């Protein structure tokens, strides 16, 4: 009895239904595929296609050649100071009224000094004697001392009488209008109007040197104009510190908005400004600014 029971039990255990048989077959096939894939991957090395580095090699060689050329150029530049020296100034007779740019440079004038001299000539300036070279802004005494023996003024120009200052037509820069300024050499309509506008803002010029503060008047032009300029300081319009508004003060070129505000605040505290030095004592103006403004302020 027990033997038959055991046989039945074993037969039931090892007997599969149709569905189970299909599942078992699929499982076996899946295991075989996985085993085959592992074997393939373990014994097969994929081939990597060879890359063409020809173009890269050409670029590297070109870059290396460029580096070599740069090193060669650097070596040449490094040798320049030993092989090259600035040419020494030459000494030859010259006329400052006719000397060319190249001649002035050969004489040892700097590029800037050469431009200043040529601009002086262009705006009507003339050299009547060698001492007139001292008029050129930037020409130092040692250079003048070396050039003076080389200067010879052409006979026709040298024979031209040197006009005394009283004979030269002068322009009162505090009284003339823009049309009068245009009569001066080197002054056009735009620059003339600019001078008049700046004079109005200042209240007048107390020295001809202030013309250099006008945009467009170079040192060489100013040098050419100086013999023709005069200044009447009695025409200067002054600003009363105790009555002027902040707007009037701020409009002056030597004061400005910030300083004007400081003056008004101090005046409100002090009630009355008794002397100009109060502005420097209270840190409103520097001594230098006060010196410039004394000509334009009153109390």
For the chain, domain boundaries: 101-158, 171-235, 239-298
Name the β-bridge partners of 69: none
Q: Is the pTM of this model over 0.75?
A: no
Q: Specify the pLDDT at position 75.
A: 42
Q: Specify the pLDDT at position 158.
A: 38
CA 173 – CA 199 distance, rounded (Å):
9
In contact, 116 and 137? CB cutoff 8 Å:
yes
Backbone torsions φ then ψ of 121, nearest 5 degrees: -65, -40
Q: Specify the pLDDT at position 63.
A: 66
Q: Specify the pLDDT at position 294.
A: 87
DSSP state of 151: B
Q: Cβ–Cβ contacts within 10 Å for residue 144, how many?
A: 15
Selected from 3.40.640.10, 1.10.150.320, 3.40.50.720, 3.40.50.300, the CATH number assigned to the domain covering 171-235 reads 1.10.150.320
Alpha helices (runs of H) in 84-218, residue ranges in sequence order: 101-106, 111-122, 141-147, 155-158, 178-182, 189-202
How far, rounded to the nearest angstrom, does the alpha carbon of residue 12 sit from its chain's CA centroid?
Answer: 104
In contact, 254 and 293? CB cutoff 8 Å:
yes
Q: Specify the pLDDT at position 10.
A: 56
Q: Is 263 left (phi over 0), alpha (psi -120 to 50) or beta?
A: alpha
Q: Specify the pLDDT at position 157.
A: 41
Q: For residue range 231-244, what is the model confidence (pLDDT) as tens digits? A: 988 888 899 989 88
Low-confidence residues of the chain: pLDDT under 50? 72-85, 155-168
């Amino acid at each position: 009895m027990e033997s038959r029971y055991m046989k039945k039990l074993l037969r039931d255990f090892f007997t599969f239904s149709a569905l189970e048989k299909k599942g078992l077959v699929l499982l076996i096939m899946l295991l075989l595929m996985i085993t085959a894939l592992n074997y393939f991957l373990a014994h097969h090395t994929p081939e990597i296609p060879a890359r063409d580095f020809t173009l890269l090699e050409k670029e590297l060689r070109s870059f290396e050649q460029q580096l070599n050329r740069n090193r060669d150029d650097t070596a040449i530049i490094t040798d320049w100071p030993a092989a090259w020296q600035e040419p020494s100034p030459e000494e030859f007779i010259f006329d400052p009224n006719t000397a060319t740019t190249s001649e002035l440079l050969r004489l040892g004038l700097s590029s800037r000094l050469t431009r200043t001299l040529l601009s002086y000539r262009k705006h009507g300036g003339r050299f009547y004697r060698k001492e007139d070279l001292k008029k050129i802004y930037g020409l130092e005494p040692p250079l003048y001392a070396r050039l003076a023996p080389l200067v010879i003024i052409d006979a026709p120009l040298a024979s031209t009488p040197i006009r005394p200052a009283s004979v030269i037509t002068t322009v009162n820069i505090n009284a003339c209008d823009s049309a009068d300024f245009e009569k001066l050499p080197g002054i056009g309509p735009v620059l003339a109007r600019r001078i008049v506008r700046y004079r109005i803002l200042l209240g007048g010029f107390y020295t001809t040197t202030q013309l250099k503060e006008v945009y467009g008047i170079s040192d060489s032009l100013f040098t050419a104009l100086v013999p023709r300029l005069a200044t009447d300081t009695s025409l200067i319009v002054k600003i009363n510190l105790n009555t002027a508004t902040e707007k009037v003060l701020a409009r002056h070129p030597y004061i400005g908005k910030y300083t004007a505000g400081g003056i008004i605040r101090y005046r409100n505290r002090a009630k009355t400004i008794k002397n100009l030095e109060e502005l420097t004592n209270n840190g409103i103006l520097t001594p230098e600014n006060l010196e410039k403004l004394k000509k334009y302020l009153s109390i």
